[in-house]
Amino acid sequence: MNVANSNLNPSPKLIKYSINHGSGFIQRKFNSSIAFSKFFQYSKFSGNKSLVKRVPFLNCFKRFDHTKTDEGVTGFPYLPNRIEELTHEQTLEGENIVLNPVVSPCAPYFTDSYSSIIKLYCDSTDPNYSQPWQMRKQIKSIGSAFVIKDKLILTNAHCVSWQNRCLVKKHGSTMKYPARLIEIGHECDLAVLTVDDDSFWEGIEPLEFGDVPNLHDNVTVVGYPTGGDNLCITSGVVSRVDVTTYCHSNFRLLCVQIDAAINSGNSGGPAIKDGKVIGVAFQAYDEAQNIGYIIPTCIISQFLKQIELFKKYTGFVTIGITYQLLTNPYLKSYLSLNNLPQNVNPSGILVCQYDKSLNGIIQTNDVILQINGHDVADDGTVHFRGVERVHLAYSLTNKFCGDECELLILRDNNLKKIKIRLGKPNYLVPEHQWDIMPRYYIYGGLVFIPLSMEYLKDEFGKKFYERAPNALLKPLSDIFAKEKGEEVVVLSQILASDLTIGYDFKNIRLVSVNDVKVLNLKHLEQMLMEVTKDSKYVKFQFEQDILVVLETSKVPEFEHQILEQHAISSHKSRII
């Protein structure tokens, strides 16, 4: 038995209490203590088979089922705050009993929707970017997911990346069903699957989405983390809403930080508030406890909308610039921001580099004052809600590839409105290459690859920025490619043979072949095919003026031997 408002002494005119009837706790009001006593004298309650016994002094009641009783409050047993929706009225011995709704933050609203929480079983094989002609060992992983409308299952992209097979199991079921991947979005770390077997969908109610939560909102995270086979529920509060880097893709999007534990296996599970999904659990902070992150519904909505409108995931967009903050007052004065009209906010960001697609539209040293009507602050933030501010990337969350974006800029002391076409910039080093097999080209034992973030991680570990040579880190700061199709071609290693005696180089950037600048890996292949026919020697020039020279007539002879020794099936990848 549980009683509401247990911090108050009982009134002789009105007594309130709650009883566990199995379907929930019911709050009833009696307009006399006599009716209150009579009700308990003749009642047994079947919710959990516990008996309520009257203590013959001051109408004090206790439950004899190991539940707590609030001390120091006469006549009121312990009460959890569970609420059920009850609207009808009953009478007992002439006394009016009003059944009122009551709430509980500790008991989830979505108990009936547990069947919508799905457990994922994935077998996946990742490529080896350091040895691009081979794959890694197959691994098994477990993740979480949940059912949404249209017979779709939503989860994280990193749960199903490079998957060979994916099985799903409903809560409370022992049956595993093969799932089919429909679409995957790596920037936002989301993926949708479906199950073709109709029997899987029996008894499942799709979960609905809510709004982005506010600070200090209570959140419940549901999923299948390591440590057990059954559903696991953790709870916490929203501690921060901000634009954060998604570690799966190195892309910056809006994110919600919570203090609920998110562990391995929780990924893809829903975060729930008031019975609605307000996010998807996807990453945690390794260097601190109880800091987890969820993908908010505005990002989920944009991902699903792209699939609905374009029948595929088209990606999240950026302006395609690098910029400097204008927090220094002397820099702002130098750029004449203090002389703007009164209706223009004197704050913004300074353009440093830009994608080649913006040539003739944006210039270096332009000051961006507004993005689609949103004032940009000196610290690179825009208004979010209330007094909250977030990174300017948020202002593009609901935009699609090809959409126009209007910028208010200050150029040479003149205000201008310009329009740019949003898309995906042509980065010199791609931010991620998920679902793209690594490319390579081997010539005389020299292994050439295009520089990528995946290669740096495989070769030097997660802290590659501390361990990789400066020659490979510098292109990361160059950001944008200057020419269409430009890549950083790297000599990753030299496979030993008599042809390459004396050459002991690795992880250096290729500049030219026979004094012709190398644009990308495909261009390198074309040049080497021509060199083999026309020249006695082939000269490779690398950064720091390092030279490697091979005799072209000897290359085919040694190359066959090298490939056989290292069990490499081909001297180049299927796609260059």
Q: What is the DSSP letter of 485?
A: T
Question: What are the pLDDT tens digits along the chain (576 aa)?
Answer: 333 333 333 333 333 333 333 333 334 444 444 444 444 433 333 333 333 333 333 333 333 333 333 333 333 333 333 333 333 334 344 444 444 444 444 444 555 568 899 999 999 999 999 999 999 999 999 999 999 999 999 999 999 999 999 999 999 899 999 999 999 999 999 999 999 999 999 989 999 999 999 999 999 999 999 888 899 999 999 999 999 999 999 899 999 999 988 888 999 999 999 999 999 999 988 777 789 999 999 999 999 999 999 999 999 999 999 999 999 999 999 999 999 999 999 999 999 999 999 999 999 999 999 999 999 999 999 999 989 999 999 999 999 999 999 999 999 999 999 999 999 999 999 888 888 899 999 999 999 999 999 999 999 998 999 999 999 999 998 889 999 999 999 999 999 999 999 999 999 999 999 999 999 999 999 999 988 667 889 999 999 999 999 999 999 989 999 999 999 999 999 999
CA distance 453 to 129: 10
Contacts 24+ apart (CB under 8 A), 337-341: 337/367, 337/410, 339/413, 340/369, 340/410, 340/415, 341/415
- The answer to whether the CB of 442 falls within 8 A of the CB of 391 is no
Q: What are the chain's domains? A: 15-98 (no CATH), 108-316 (2.40.10.120), 321-421 (2.30.42.10), 441-565 (3.20.190.20)
Q: What is the pTM of this model?
A: 0.78
Output the DSSP codes for 553-565: GGHHHHHHHHHHH
Quickly count: other Cβ atoms within 10 Å of residue 342's Cβ: 6
53: which 2 tokens?
């016994």
| Active-site residue list | 158, 189, 267
Q: Please check whether residue 493 is in contact with residue 506, taking contact to mean a CB–CB distance below 8 angstroms.
A: yes
* Cα(280)–Cα(156) distance, integer angstroms: 8
How far is C-alpha 498 from the chain's CA centre? Answer: 49
The angle at the Cα of 302, spanning 300 to 303, to the nearest 5 degrees, equals: 65
Residue 531 pLDDT: 82
Sign, CA dihedral 309-312-314-316, equals positive
d(CA 29, CA 39): 12
Helix, strand, coil percentages, rounded to 5, for the chain:
20, 35, 45
Dist CA 202 CA 205 (whole Å): 9
Q: Which residues contact 418 (CB under 8 A, 6 or more apart)?
A: 361, 362, 406, 407, 409
Q: Are 37 and 56 in contact (CB under 8 A)?
A: no
DSSP assignment of 129-179 equals: SSSTTSB---EEEEEEEEEETTTEEEE-HHHHTTEEEEEEEETT---EEE-
Question: What is the reported pLDDT for 289?
Answer: 78
- How many Cβ atoms sit within 10 Å of the Cβ of residue 311? 9
E strand or H helix at 200: none
Task: Please choose, from the candidates 170, 160, 155, the residue with its C-alpha nearest in 3D space to the C-alpha of residue 139.
Answer: 160
Phi, psi of 309, rounded to the nearest 5 degrees: -80, -40
410: tokens are 């200050």
Q: If we measure between CA atoms, which residue out of 313, 305, 348, 307 comes closest to residue 327?
A: 348
Residues across the chain: 576
Helix (H) or strand (E) holding 309: helix 297-310
Alpha-carbon torsion 325, 330, 332, 335, what sign? Answer: negative
φ, ψ of residue 352 to 5 degrees: the values are -105, -60
CA distance 500 to 502: 6
**Phi, psi of 48, rounded to the nearest 5 degrees:** -130, 25
